[in-house]
Structure formats: C-alpha cells, structure tokens
Amino acid sequence: MKFSRRSFLGSAAAAAASAGLASPRSLLAADNSSSTTGTAVAGHKRIKLGISTYSYWHFKTKRVPIETVIEKAAVLGVEGVDILHRQMDIGEKDPLNAEGRAYLRRLKRLAFRNGIDLICLSTHQSFVNPKKEEVTAHVEHTKKCIEIAYELGIPSIRINTGRWNTVDFDTLMAQRGIEAVLPGYTEEDGFRWCIDGIQRCLPKAEECGVILALENHWGLARTPEGLLRILNSISSPWLGTLMDTGNFLEDPYTKLEKIAPKTVFVQAKTYPGGGEWYTLDLDYQRIAKILAGVNYTGYVSLEMEGKEDPDTAVPQSVKLLREAFRS
C-alpha cells in the first residue's frame, strides 16, 4: 500500500493525539522555534549571529589565530565566523598553492567540526588610484580573495572602495574619516576608477558564487550617498552592501536606514573599555528595527573594537546583540 505525505502526516497526527504526543507538524514547529538570538515565531526567518576574527585582534598585538576564534565562537554558541583576511596564517606564500590550500582546508574542517559556518572574508583593497597598474593589482588581489572564499565555502567577501591616502590612518580617524582629494584629481575621478575596478571583479564573483559586499567604510563610501552612487551604477546580483554599524560617525541611524535596503551582510561594532580610535553609543534595538523594516534575515557579525580584553568583551557583546535581535 502506498501512502502520500499528506495521508502519512494525518495518520501520524491522529496516532500522536491518541497517545498524548505532539504531532509531526508541532514537532517541526518546535524544532524551528529556538535560536541563538532568542525565540523565533514559527514560519518567520531569524537573524543569525557571527563573530569577526577582528574582535580578537586589532592589528596592535600578536596576531590571534583564526583557529582560536573558531573554537571560541563555538563555545559562545554563535553560528558563524567572519574571517579577517589579514589575520590569516598565509603570510607571503601563495594562498592557492598546495601549502595554502592545505591551510584553508584545515580551517574549513575545524569550522565544520565545531558547528560553525564561515560567513564572510573581510578583505582590503583600494580602487581609488590614478595609476592603472595599481588598480589592476587590487583587482587581481580581490579576485584571489574571491577564490580563497570559494575554497573555504564562504558566500561573501567584504570589499572597500579605498581612499585618497592623503593622510595617515590615525589622522584620518582624528578628522572623522574626512580627507582631501589627491591634488590634481577630483572625486569624480575616484568614483570612475572605483566603479570600473569593482566591475572587473564581478565575473570572478559570479563564477565562484561569492557576493561582493561593499562596506560603508572610509573613502568614497564614507557617506550613504557615495556608497549608493557606486551600487546604483552597477547592476549585478553579486554586489550588495555590507553595513558596518560603526562607520557613520554622525547621525548613524538615518544613514543606516538609507543603506539598509541593499544590505547583504552586517558587521556590528561594540566598544567595551572604549574604542581603539573612537567610541559610539549604538542603540542596537533601534538598529534591529531598521533591519527588520527591510526584512533583513542574514548574518550579524560582531566586530568588538573596544580596548577591553576580548575574552570578557566578546561574550558581553554577543549577549547585547542576542538581546537586541531577539524580538
């Protein structure tokens, strides 16, 4: 005798009811109701939390291994790890030669064994440069990062526009992210170079199935208008916004609302012990509502940028984000 799925579920439900047990449907609903971010309503998608490896290493101390962060993330019960490319143990060797691929596969295996998704590869590049050979070098670097993400099974990489580099980074932070344009050029030049550079990376992104997530970082994407100008100039399903909650220093919520509709990944800044360069008092309940308003249901990755010991600051920050996104 053959049974359809519907007749099976109906029979199972009747049997469960007579035995005082939950039906298969209610069991499925119960199974889907719990999450690391709190209790979800059955049938509704939920935010997943991750941790950026940057949370444990701010370029100022001995590099913290990616393996260590994966294991700590598993203990904290988050679902993903966002890998900072410059933090990887690749050094000067080719990350895609036999030795490099072996390292990447060890990371992939470790993440799987710990129940952790690898969710983003945070990279650095600059397309804001009048020298064509320099832009090409950054395009090739970005393509290699896409291939690294593909090797790791990571579905997205963070990219930056780059900046004019007319001041050093500490001065840039003191100037609230504002810097002068390179003498002899205009912002129009910068946008043209950047748009062209990103477009040259997109065929590789599509080939590997890796989304380019353009961050509201310093440089041309310092304002929502600059970021959206670039995104609106390029029509591709393999390009979206990476929302960094801590990179709009004035009136952040209005600006975050502007970029929310194109957001494909979120990095959530916290500053326990005071920030390395500045401190923002961010209202994550409000940010959660902004993201809910555009039906964002992807990852929120913690970027703890405070001076406090990460072994205490990261768990506190994870708790903060869990509470904010629970509802």
Taking the mean position of all CA atoms in its chain, how far away is CA 9? 40
Query: CA-to-CA distance for 85 and 144, rounded, in angstroms?
Result: 11
Is pLDDT of 26 > 60? no
pTM for this predicted structure: 0.86
The CA R_g of the chain, rounded to the nearest whole Å, is 22
Q: What is the pLDDT of residue 93?
A: 60
Mean pLDDT of the 44-59 span: 91
Question: Could you give the CA distance from residue 71 to residue 103 in angstroms, rounded to a whole number?
Answer: 16
What does the block give as tokens for 214?
Answer: 């353009």
Contact (Cβ atoms closer than 8 angstroms) between residue 197 and residue 127: yes
Distances (CA, A) of 50 to 272, 288, 298: 18, 15, 10
Domains annotated for the chain, with CATH where assigned, are 44-325 (3.20.20.150)
pLDDT above 90 covers a percentage of the chain that reads: 79
Average pLDDT over the chain, rounded to an integer: 88
Mean pLDDT over residues 232-240, rounded? 97
Q: Is the separation of the CB atoms in 249 and 275 below 8 Å? A: no
pLDDT in tens, 295-322: 999 999 999 999 999 999 999 999 999 9
